[in-house]
Amino acid sequence: MEVSVNGKSIDVGAGEDETAAEMLRERLGLTGTKVACGTGVCGTCTVLVDGRTAASCLLPAGAVAGREVTTVEGLGGDAGDHPVQRAFAEHDALQCGYCTPGFVVEAAAFVDRWRDEHGTAEPSREQIADALAGHLCRCGAYAGIYAAVAAACAGKHDEGTVTPVRVEALSKITGAARYTTDVVLDGRLEGVIVRSPHPHAKVDGIRYDGPLAELLPADRVVRYVGQPVAAVAAPTKAEALAAAARVEIDYTVLPAVLSPEDDTVVYPTEESRKAAPRANEGPLASAKWNGNVRGPASMSWRGGTAAKRIEKARGDGGRTLVEASFTTGVQAHTCMEPHSCVARWEGGELHLQLSTQAVTRVADQAAKRWKLKPEQVHIVAEHVGGGFGSKVNVTADVVSAVELSRLHDAPVRVVLSRPEEIVDGGTRPGTRIDLALLAGADGELAAFTMDSHGDSGVSIGSNAAWHSRFVYGNAPRRIRDYDHVTNRAPGIPFRGPGMPPMLWALEQAVDEMALRRGEDPIELRRRWDGNPKRHALYDEASALPMWRDRTDPGDGRVRRGVGVAAANYMYFLDPGTKVELVVEQGAVVARIATQDIGTGSRSVIAEVVRSALDLLPGQVRVELGHSDHVYGPTAASSCSTASIAPAAQDAARRLRKALGARSLDEAGGTRVVGRRPRDRRGYVTPFPLDHFAIGRGFSGAVVVTEVEVDTLLGRIRPARVWCGVAAGHIYAPRPARNQCEGGVVQGIGYALFEQRHDDPGTGTVLTANLEDYRIPGIADTPEIDVHFHTEGWDHVPGRGVGLGEICTMGVAASIGNAVRAATGWRPHDLPIRPDRLLEGIAR
């Protein structure tokens, strides 16, 4: 058929069932058009058809015959010259960049219409939100998007020089950035995973008329609906799906455990228990098993004393004793780029192009799994469309692609669908936390007990209560974590694992204590909290007009309330981090085997090197995402910046010394390797734990949120959020601010919308798409003010630590406290759905 694409007439073939997105991506190589949901919900696939926006993942390819299609590649050319593209680069309106092309195309159409009708008048936030309502950004970069679109409408980016905030911004706003889902190798096959329809069954046999990769555990037992069983490959995705339908599997169905009353044991043997997936990071705390309950895993401090004091307070009437149970729902990571891998074997060596946040870690795991030498595994992750903790290991997509590639002697690409991503791509475990908090006669914290019951499906290692050991001084505390194992999909670490549910309970209990004592909630925290960095944040927060001028909400339909919550997080780093600098063609090239999942690692390294060597931005180039480069950290536990920035500083110092009086043009080929210096106060851990070390000191955050509550409809709208973060020196201020703004948005999703729902009879996930599983959109984004406290980290090389997790941890709790201030009703269950709110305030 004949179609005009980006101003060029093209004769292109298309299958009967092919979508416009598939035609553009697979046949024409225009991979700026992404597919993330496949149902027209997320907007990543947006293109212009005859000047109007369309969701190309739903549009049949035949429907564009004889029409003009414009993709992001054709919008402003390779230079990104459309005012919207320039604005997105200038205002840092992106993070991982996977959703960015769709936003850019939609925003360009809106800006062009707006300018025709309104000239250079600036639209309101509501008008911008309406225009972009069909688009989702899991990173939560909405604050920058608001600013970029408003500026483009006002004509501020029609001309002039643009200085991108991120070094990779141009490639992301033009669609040139290549993600794993975009990789097409000659002769490649498409792989599809065959999954279990049963929550609990033994696989007795598998029959298939071609090469098949088995994905079963050693005992051949599947333990949740959607667990990988096998994988097959074919030249196209449609053929691979048809092949998967021909796979015959014999199951012996076993009784499923879907509630605490069920008697069947999910892990009946020691071997199966050892093989259980993990819901947390780091070593697994020891605990006993009792059927399907594992625990308690304890991190108590004078636990017996705490329990006795609380029991005595119950007998005394308990006026200064706060007791309650709090629950949190299961939250899906659902990254915009799904788990994906392209594998090929060549000369006995394994090559992976992979969507991962752990290049070196996964390379090491792959070498061990397939019995290869480390130098025989090569991973490329040039651009990664989000991770949030879900992409740190060899996962089913990797195993499938590798095994199928070996079987077929051809490259194989495996990309999870959105339902697969939501079911098996990872979730934050749900929790029920039973908490008792006691204040003494002097108003100081006297004791608390916290029992956390984790709902991690088949996973173990819930650790929400464990984190409460490190907050509010050294008052006696009994802390216990339990796993309640069921035949549901596994939980895994998610951005600050364990902390948001723990703070949802603890920070609301602290707030309740302040109310009972008639004390300002910030002042109570200041007294209980000995961390001087958070004291500086309390000072800032208490002086905010939003806090200082809060008033009685009254009893009208719409009420406003302001809440506060604090957060505390360990300082992690990877002490083995290195950065290589090489002088090439008059520029300095930085190389490291780490990845940028949208957190700004490229920009941090570029800024450190540029500043240290007094170079222009164009004189520094950063290459990362290749396992063959010098060792780099996993993007987890907020350790990236605290590891790569000092290593880059050390490399720049070495290069300056090596250059001497020579210019870059004269010093071609000069190479140095910088290493992360040791902290001056040493580490809490005497040796790295899986490459991580725990440094001395805690990062901190204080979040103040104002909400508007519609007591008739049960809607909660966060109106303003102030997020104070104490993480030391900020290497790249705007990307760091963007990270914190996105963390606030994810916290809002956790508080108000996100909850995976399962069929109670089978464990089948019912919210397996982005329409039923609701994540925040741009209209849900409040005005966000981020404040950085940069002191207190002089013992750390570079004086700065990570902040990507601390910024999101206390958001949900601050919203809960704000709802209590607005309505008089305290929410105990997340998310705070309209039905729960209406029922609560009615009581």
- Cis, bond preceding 296 (omega within 30 deg of 0): yes
Residues making up the chain, counted from first to last = 843
Query: Do residues 310 and 438 make contact, with C-beta atoms less than 8 angstroms apart?
Result: yes
Please give the single-letter amino acid code of residue 147.
A
State CA 141 to chain mean position distance.
12
What is the Cα–Cα distance from 176 to 31, expressed in whole angstroms? Answer: 8
The whole-number pLDDT of residue 562 equals 98
Residues facing residue 703 across a β-bridge = 565, 723
The whole-number pLDDT of residue 690 equals 73
Closest CA to 259 of 557, 487, 412, 481: 487
The number of CA neighbours under 13 Å toward the Cβ of 18 is 20
> Which of the 8 DSSP states describes residue 149?
H
- From the number of C-beta atoms within 10 Å of its C-beta (0-12, 13-18, 19+), residue 443 rates as middle
Tokens of 101: 């092309």
The whole-number pLDDT of residue 687 equals 62
Tokens of 416: 């999870």
State the Rg of the chain over Cα.
Answer: 27
The whole-number pLDDT of residue 319 equals 79
The whole-number pLDDT of residue 283 equals 84
C-alpha angle 590-594-600 in degrees, rounded to nearest 5: 80
Tokens of 751: 């508080």
Tokens of 290: 């009792």
Q: Report the sign of the C-alpha dihedral through residues 461, 478, 698, 738, in that order.
A: positive
Closest CA to 821 of 566, 546, 567, 539: 546
Q: Compute CA distances 456 → 258, 283, 735, whole Å.
A: 12, 17, 32
Residues facing residue 565 across a β-bridge = 703
Strand, coil or helix: 303: helix
Tokens of 660: 């001497």
Count CB neighbours of 252 within 10 A: 11
What is the Cα–Cα distance from 173 to 166, expressed in whole angstroms? Answer: 11
The whole-number pLDDT of residue 817 equals 98
Please give the single-letter amino acid code of residue 263.
D
Q: Report the sign of the C-alpha dihedral through residues 701, 702, 707, 713, in that order.
A: positive
**In the chain, what are the helix, strand and coil shares in percent, each to the nearest 5?**
30, 25, 45
Buried b (16+ CB within 10 A) or exposed e, 281-302: bbeebebeeebbebbbbbbbee
What is the Cα–Cα distance from 680 to 697, expressed in whole angstroms? Answer: 12
Count CB neighbours of 634 within 10 A: 27
Arithmetic mean of pLDDT over the chain: 96
- The DSSP bridge pattern shows strands 289-290 and 293-298 to be antiparallel
What is the Cα–Cα distance from 464 to 453, expressed in whole angstroms? Answer: 9
What is the Cα–Cα distance from 573 to 580, expressed in whole angstroms? Answer: 18
Count CB neighbours of 200 within 10 A: 26
Which residue is listed with tokens 């009708």? 117
Per DSSP, which regions of 711-828 are E strands?
715-726, 783-789
C-alpha angle 783-80-77 in degrees, rounded to nearest 5: 145
Q: Which residues of the chain have pLDDT under 50?
A: none
Closest CA to 353 of 368, 364, 341: 341
C-alpha angle 159-143-336 in degrees, rounded to nearest 5: 100
Torsion of CA 41, 44, 49, 53, to 10 degrees: 60
Q: In what order do the strands lie in the sheet with 587-592?
A: 620-624, 587-592, 578-584, 671-675
The whole-number pLDDT of residue 316 equals 81
- From the number of C-beta atoms within 10 Å of its C-beta (0-12, 13-18, 19+), residue 455 rates as buried
The whole-number pLDDT of residue 160 equals 83
> Which of the 8 DSSP states describes residue 820?
H
Closest CA to 215 of 180, 249, 256: 249
Q: Convert 11-39 into a string of H (helix), E (strand) and C (coil).
A: ECCCCCCCEHHHHHHHHCCCCCCCCCCCC
Count CB neighbours of 722 within 10 A: 24
The whole-number pLDDT of residue 685 equals 78
Q: Compute CA distances 112 → 102, 135, 154, 513, 584, whole Å.
A: 16, 18, 11, 54, 42
| Torsion angles phi and psi, residue 567, rounded to 5 | -145, 155
Strand, coil or helix: 723: strand
- Cis, bond preceding 831 (omega within 30 deg of 0): yes
